[in-house]
Amino acid sequence: MPQQSLTALYQHLDQHRPESLEALLTGVVWLLPMLDVIANAAIFIKDDQARYVLANRTLVQRCGLKQLQPLLGKTSAQVFPARLGPGYTEQDRRVLEEGLVLEDQLELHLYGSREPGWCLTHKRPLYDPAGKIIGLVGISIDLQSATDSHPAYQRLAAVDGHIREHFHQPISMGELTRIAGISVAQLERYCKKVFHLTPRQMIHKARLEHAHRLLHTDLPITEVALRCGYTDHSAFSRQFRQLTGFSPRQYRQATTQEG
């Protein structure tokens, strides 16, 4: 799997820290032809200014480009639409400045059609032998379809259906475990196996998908928050920013400007 390959690569890089980003690229550029055939994952390396220095074909195409060269030296904010790009770059800054490690971060991204979709993003800082951050490596994997061959699929499908029907209301882990007839630990484990998300991520995804649609209307932000299951406007804004890099108001403005 792409994620496992990236983890193995990062472990190798952490054990054999390169003298510079240039030295790193010399050592890994031969991997690019293999990374190019992975259609469901955008894979990239960026420098300490959050600029692309390597990317696979999937990412190039999602930036609306045909070749890698025009992407090099640019940040996400410069190549993605205004509603998403700046959020990606802000996330990069935290990785580069704070050493933040992202694992399974659910977030919006763009497909080749420029339509928004969901992915699980992983980002890690890259260090030189002195412990200085010289860049970052990352992968955004398309959220896979549910695995319907799992023995607990029918129970979990009922959980998913409940979330989709009641996301506008408070949903507790207790009611989800009652629906599935399993423990919290089993629910967490099985949801990751079947839906590739935790139950909490499933709830956030359902709510934010609805918010994405409502923010294209004239509804007040407070009303959007309520209709998506958030009684606290600030909690809605926090969660929305985590998944998009924008506050709901900024996202609405950026979407309006694009239109």
> pLDDT tens-digit profile of 58-80?
999 888 889 999 999 999 989 88
User: What is the pLDDT, as a whole number, of residue 39?
Assistant: 86
pLDDT higher for 179 or 111?
A: 179
Within 10 angstroms of residue 176's Cβ, the number of other Cβ atoms is 23
User: What is the pLDDT, as a whole number, of residue 108?
Assistant: 76
Does domain 153-258 fall into CATH 3.40.30.10? no
User: What is the pLDDT, as a whole number, of residue 225?
Assistant: 94
- Which string of b and e fits 96-109 if b means at least 16 CB within 10 Å? beeeeebeebbbbb
pLDDT class of 203 with cuts at 50, 70, 90: very high
Q: Where in the chain is the domain with CATH 3.30.450.20?
A: 2-142
Q: Would you say residue 1 has pLDDT above 60?
A: no
User: What is the pLDDT, as a whole number, of residue 115?
Assistant: 65
User: What is the pLDDT, as a whole number, of residue 145?
Assistant: 78
Q: Which long-range contacts (CB under 8 A, 24 or more apart) does 166-175 make?
A: 167/203, 167/206, 167/207, 167/210, 167/228, 167/229, 168/207, 168/210, 168/226, 168/227, 168/228, 168/229, 169/229, 170/229, 170/231, 171/203, 171/229, 173/199
Find the helix packing angle between 199-214 and 153-166, rounded to 10°. Answer: 40
Residue whose structure tokens are 């549910």: 146
Q: Would you say residue 110 has pLDDT above 80?
A: no
Q: Where in the chain is the domain with CATH 1.10.10.60?
A: 153-258
Within 10 angstroms of residue 86's Cβ, the number of other Cβ atoms is 20
Whole-angstrom Cα distance, residue 46 to residue 250?
26
Mean pLDDT, residues 229-255 taken together: 84
Residue whose structure tokens are 């790009």: 85
The CATH code belonging to domain 2-142 is: 3.30.450.20
State pLDDT tens for residues 76-92. 989 887 777 888 888 99
User: What is the pLDDT, as a whole number, of residue 27?
Assistant: 80
pLDDT class of 114 with cuts at 50, 70, 90: low
Mean pLDDT, residues 222-251 taken together: 87
Within 10 angstroms of residue 249's Cβ, the number of other Cβ atoms is 12
State pLDDT tens for residues 117-171. 888 999 999 999 999 999 999 999 888 877 888 888 999 999 999 999 999 999 9
State pLDDT tens for residues 204-218. 999 988 998 899 899
User: What is the pLDDT, as a whole number, of residue 113?
Assistant: 58
Tokens describing residue 235: 């909690």
